[in-house]
Structure 1
Amino acid sequence: MPQIIPIRDLKRTAEISDMCHNSEEPIYITKNGYGDMVIMSMETYEKNMRKYLKYKDIEVSEKEIEEGKVKEAKSALQGMRAKYGI
């Protein structure tokens, strides 16, 4: 379940840091009752970025397939062997 805290609670930096490290989810910060910011531990951020980049690569690959920017595996491997002398 997401944690939501008001911006005034950011004064308690040590507690907020512990909250971030004890949860694998971001913490939502509100200002005047509305969403304002999101904070998370570096570990959670890096994990989410790795996942995002994988999905981005898949999206690019699917677009290339739709556009016909593909090669047959045999010809691609032959090109690699010729290029690298394998």
Structure 2
Amino acid sequence: MLIKPSTAIRQDYTGLAELCHSIDEPVVLTRNGEADLVVMSYEAYRRAEARVKLQARLIAADRQAGDPTALLDATSVFDRIRARIDDAEA
């Protein structure tokens, strides 16, 4: 991660924004020599958010796969689908 003083955002917002877009990773802003804020491009934020959501789904799927009572056989799945289609047509 790149580290910049907080004055970088006040003195040159455009330059900092371009930097965030070009390196495509978070930039740590410091205040009085201490880490204070993390800044990143919106695109990088959205990708990070999507990774977190995907990871949560994979963890849930892994837990479910480890529980044999939660799994359904193909016949049961197709029976449920057919029943939902029949209900929708009625």
State the TM-score, normalizing by the size of structure 2: 0.79
Tell me how far apart the structure 2 counterparts of residues 73 and 28 of structure 1 sit (CA, whole Å).
50
Per-residue CA distance 1:24-60 (angstroms, 9 max, x = gap)? 1111111222221111111111111112111111112
Q: Which amino acid is 2:15 matched to?
A: E
How far apart are residue 8 of structure 1 and its match?
1.8
For structure 1, list consecutive stretches of 5 or more residues without a partner in the other structure.
none
Tell me how far apart the structure 2 counterparts of residues 73 and 34 of structure 1 sit (CA, whole Å).
56
2:80 corresponds in structure 1 to: 79
1:30 corresponds in structure 2 to: 30
Judging by fraction of residues, say which structure has more helix.
2
How far apart are residue 73 of structure 1 and its match?
2.9
1:56 corresponds in structure 2 to: 56
How far apart are residue 63 of structure 1 and its match?
2.4
Among all aligned residue pairs of Structure 1 and Structure 2, give the percentage whose two residues are the same amino acid: 23
State the number of aligned residues: 84
Instruction: Tell me the SS of whatever aligns to 2:84.
Output: helix
Instruction: Tell me the SS of whatever aligns to 2:70.
Output: coil
How far apart are residue 5 of structure 1 and its match?
0.4
Once the two structures are superposed, the pairs formed by residues 9-28 of structure 1 within 5 Å of their partners are 9-11=8-10, 12-28=12-28
State the TM-score, normalizing by the size of structure 1: 0.82
